[in-house]
Every structure is written in structure tokens, then in C-alpha cells.
Structure 1
Amino acid sequence: MNPIKVAVTGAGGRMGREVVKMVLQDEQLKLVAAVSPSAGPVDAGTLVGLQACGVTVMPDLETALSNAKADVLVDFTVPHAVYEITRTAIQHGVRPVIGTTGFTPEQMKELDELCRSQGIGGLIAPNFSIGAILMMKFAAQASKYMPHVEIIEYHGDQKLDAPSGTSIKTAELISEVRQELRQGNPNEKETIEGARGGYYDGFRIHSVRLPGVFAQQEVIFGGYGQTLKIRHDSYDRAGYMPGVNVAVKKVMTYTGLIYGFEHVMD
């Protein structure tokens, strides 16, 4: 069986380097392109501390995809660029596996239609951590029985979006099984704007941004005389790679755009 040919955007970033390393270390995958506006020209293997692999990091995605004939594109870049990156990949017949957040529902609908017209699959996932997906699933289950809930998510101070894509996805999963319930005192008043966090379907999402923090999230449920906390902590970017590896292989097997890694987990 021929290896899956993989292109990586954001190859010079911290997540992108982990993806390059993962691809180079899996015999079922073959790195055919690496894109970064600022990291090259350098061999992608050398960039991530491995042996040279013969793939030079390029600054331009269009050129890289035209030359590489990739099957899958993995993207961990920035919210303001990811829509165009994803659209470009699909137009080249390359299946997108996207770990960057920032898509609107309208954009995802358009990208799904574009995938289907090309006869390829695609995946947008706010989180590829298997532990984080389980946290979301457990939270959705708990909300059926304890509907009073709040989410607190923690990331480093350089994260661009708030709340995180993971917390939004968690909120969406909760809202699928929990009717909207406006929590707290009906006469509640914020003396400092934003103190109660962002409002979502009656409950709140709180975003903490501090140096020294990597990625954590806890979902807190309150009931009469008790609370329940479901928490997930990520300590290293390598922890996302088993999920990315699964996604790259699964995206070859279906047509259309899927939102959420939980839909392709084994």
C-alpha cells in the first residue's frame, strides 16, 4: 500500500514542527511538502531535529501544492489565514486536516460543498487530543443530569482567540443534549464588565490567559449539595500527534467536511 502523501502548513511553528516530525516517523505517511513563510529555505527534517528528508520548506502554499501532488494537508497556522489555506487545498484536490480555529458556520458549509464537489474528505478539529475529546464527551453526558454548568479554559498569554475552539466545541456538545437554562440570579449585575464570562446558551465560558500555561480546561457542574469537575490538562504538543495521525489516515476514507475529531475517533 502506497504511503499517504502529506503537506504541512505552518511547518516552522511549534505545532507544525511536531506534525512534520510525526509524518517523518510513520512509514505509512510520506512528507511531500512543508510550508512556512519565515522558516525556509531549509530541509524539513533538519528543521525538526531529524535527518534531512529531501523536502525543502517553501514560503508559498500554491507552489508547494502544485509541485507536491499531496493527498492531505495538515494545518496549524493562524485564524486569519486558515480559511484561504483550506480553500486552496481543496481546490487542488488535497484533503484538509485543520487544527486551526476561526471558521464561521457559513465558511464551513461552503468548504463542505467544495469538498463534495471534489469528491474528497476534510476535517476541522478544535482539538486533536484524545483525552480532550473524552473530556468533552463526558461533559455532554453529565449535563443531562446536572444542567448547571460553567467552563473555564486556560491557555498561554499569546493565544489569539478567546474563548478557545475547544471550549466552544464543548459548549456545542453540551447544548445538543441540554435545553437552554439561564443560570444565576435573574437580577445579577456585573460591576466589572465581563466578570461573568462569555454567555452561551444560558451558561458561561471563562478564558484565562497567562504566561507559563499550556492548555487546560475544566467543566464545572453544580447541584444541590455537590459539584462535579471534569478537567483535562495538556502538557506537551506531542500529545496531539496520535490524534492528528488518526485524522490523516481517516480523511482518506470519506467525502465531505467533518467538524470535530470525535467523529473520526476509533
Structure 2
Amino acid sequence: MSIIKVAVMGACGKMGRFISTGVVNDPELELVAAFDVINEGMNLGALIGISNIDVTIDTDLTKMLNEKKIDVIIDFTNAKALMKNISEIIEKKISVVIGTTGLNEDDINKINQLAMNNSSGVFLAPNFAIGAVLMMKYAQDAAKYFPHVEIIELHHNQKLDAPSGTAIKTLEQIAKVRRPFTQGAEDEFEKIEGSRGGDYEGIRIHSVRLPGYVAHQEVIFGGLGQTLTLRHDSISRESFIPGVMLAVKKVRTWQGLVYGLENILE
């Protein structure tokens, strides 16, 4: 089996460092490049605490793409940076695994078209934790019997977008089996605007942003004389690594964009 050559975008960030460590520790992968807008020329090993890594931080994307042989790029940066760089990456016939959130439907369609035009594979997921994928699956199943449902998602206070990609995907999955209707009392009102949260086809969504959290979500169902709560907690960013590594190993087997970890789990 040939070794997959991997580059990490946003390598100096918290998630980038976890991903870089995951790549280094996987015998089927080789970390060949790391990109960020800071720390030009710094040895990546100094950032992730692994001394025998011969990879330095690149801040010139074009130079990195021209000089390094890369099979797959992993991007956990931000939507603006991703959309700035994605065309140049895919036009090099490099496959991409995306964990960046905040992309809109037009962004996703553009990425898919780029991938199709260049015969490249792209994988995008709102959450790479396998437990979160199971939570979304179980929530969809439960919604068939408990149509009254609200979602609370909780993340660290540096997260820019709200609601989270995981919450949006959960809402979309539930909406496939639940007819749209407005929940709560017919004449309810908010004494503080927004206190009932966002509204997606009558489902209320609440976003919490506080230091100390990583990524957490509750899906709360209400029925006659009972409630049902599904909750997933990522207590460390390490929870995302198995899913990311799986995507890296599979993304070169298709053309175009595949969305959601559930589509590549065996």
C-alpha cells in the first residue's frame, strides 16, 4: 500500500496541531507540508512536541504547492481562508478533507464543481467525531416518534459561526422525517428578543459560546409525560482525529464532493 502524502492547512492552530500529530502517528500517512499565516520557517515538531519531524511552516501557498508532492490537504481553518485557497489547491489535482465550518450552500456547490472539473475528491463534514454522527442518526430516528424537539449546541467562545455545522446537519436530518410546525404555546412571546433561540421549520436551536467547552450538543425531545435527551460531548479535539484520518484515506477514491462522515463509515 502506497503512503499518502498529506499537508495540513492552519497547522499552527489548536486543531491543526492535533491533526498534524494524528498524521505523524498513522503508518499509512506521511506529513510532507504544513501551511499557516504565521511562524514561517518554524519546525512543526517544535509546535506539536515531536522532535523528529522534518517539516517547516510554509506561509506561501503557491510555493508550497509547487515544491511539495501532496496527495491530500486537510483544512480546518475558516470559511474565508478556505474559499480563498480552494481553487488553487484543487486545480493542482490535490484531494481535500475539509473540517472548516461556516460555508454556505453556494460555497459548497462551488467546491463540488471545482472538484468535478479537476477530477479530484473532496470530503466535507460538520463533525468528525464518530459519536456525533451516531447522535445525528439517533436523533433522526427519534424524531419520527417525538416531533417536538429543540437543540442546544455548546462550543468554545472562539468559534465564529452559530449555529454549529453539526447542529445544522442535525436539523436537516430531523426535517427529513418531521413535518414543519411551530412548537410552544400559540400565543407565546419573548420578553428578551432571541430568548427562544433560532427557528428552523419550527425547531428551536440555541447556541452557547463559553470558555471551557470544546464541542457539545443536546437534542431534547418532548412527548406526553416524558422527555428524551441525546447528548454528545467532545471533551478533547482528539475525538475528531479518527474520523479525519479515515477521510484522508478514502477521499481519493471518488470525484466531486462527499458530505458527512456517515457516508464513509463502514
Distance 1:26 1:18 in 2: 13
- Aligned residue in 2 for 1:172: 172
Aligned-residue identity in percent: 50
Q: Answer yes or no: is 1:17 the counterpart of 2:17.
A: yes
- Secondary structure (helix, strand or coil) at the match of 1:151 reads strand
- Matched to 1:246, the amino acid is L
Rounded Cα–Cα distance in structure 2 between residues aligned with 1:62 and 1:175 = 42
Q: Give 1:77's aligned residue.
A: 77
Mean Cα deviation higher: 62-71 or 193-202: 62-71
Would you say the 8 A contact 1:21–1:45 is kept in 2? no
Alignment of 1:49-88 (within 5 A): 49-88=49-88
In structure 2, C-alpha distance between the alignment counterparts of 1:221 and 1:147, rounded to whole Å:
7
Moved more, 1-10 or 78-87: 78-87
SS in 1 for 2:171: helix
The Cα of 1:173 is off from its aligned counterpart by 1.0
Determine helix, strand or coil for the equivalent of 1:37.
coil
Corresponding residue of 1:107: 107
**Farther-moved stretch of structure 1 (191-200 vs 206-215):** 206-215
Distance in 2, matches of 1:209 and 1:136, equals 21
Task: Quote the residue 1:233 is aligned against.
Answer: 233
**Alignment pair present for 1:48 and 2:26:** no
**Is the CA contact 1:147–1:181 (under 8 Å) kept in the aligned structure 2?**
no
Number of the residue aligned with 2:95: 95
Separation of aligned partners in 1, 2:40 and 2:163 = 32
Are 2:261 and 1:256 equivalent residues in the alignment? no
Within the alignment, does 1:28 sit opposite 2:28 as a pair?
yes
Q: 1:51 Cα deviation (Å)?
A: 2.1
**Separation (CA, whole Å) in 1 of partners of 2:52 and 2:42:** 9
Instruction: List alignment gaps of at least 5 residues for structure 1.
Output: none
After superposition, the Cα gap between the structure-2 partners of 1:258 and 1:177, relative to the gap in structure 1 and judged at 3 Å, is: same
Q: Any residues of structure 2 matched to 1:95-244 within 5 Å, and which?
A: 95-244=95-244
State the AA in 1 paired with 2:155. H
The question of whether the paired residues in 2 share the 8 Å contact of 1:43 and 1:52 is answered with no
Cα distance in 2 for residues equivalent to 1:20 and 1:29: 11
Worse overlay, 228-237 or 55-64: 55-64
How far does residue 88 in structure 1 lie from its aligned partner after superposition?
Answer: 2.5
Instruction: List per-residue Cα deviations over 1:184-206 (Å, max 9, x = no partner).
Output: 12222111110000111111110
Choose 177-186 or 149-158, whichever is displaced more: 177-186
Contact 1:9/1:61 (<8 A) preserved: no
User: SS in structure 1 opposite 2:132?
Assistant: helix
- C-alpha contact (below 8 Å) 1:125/1:260 kept by paired residues: yes
Deviation at 1:62, TM superposition (A): 2.1
Task: Report the AA paired with residue 91 of structure 1.
Answer: E
Q: Which amino acid aligns with 1:106?
A: D
1:211 deviates by 1.5
Unaligned ranges ≥5, structure 2: none
Residues of 2 paired with 1:66 and 1:102: CA distance?
Answer: 29
TM-score, normalised relative to structure 1: 0.96
CA RMSD of aligned residues (A): 1.2
User: Residue 79 of structure 1: CA displacement?
Assistant: 2.6
Contact 1:150 1:203 in 2 (8 A): yes
| Matches of 2:88 and 2:184, distance apart in 1 | 45
- 1:97-123 per-position Cα deviation (integer Å, ceiling 9, x unaligned): 010111111221121111111111101
> Aligned pairs, how many?
266
**What's the secondary structure of 1:177's corresponding residue?**
coil
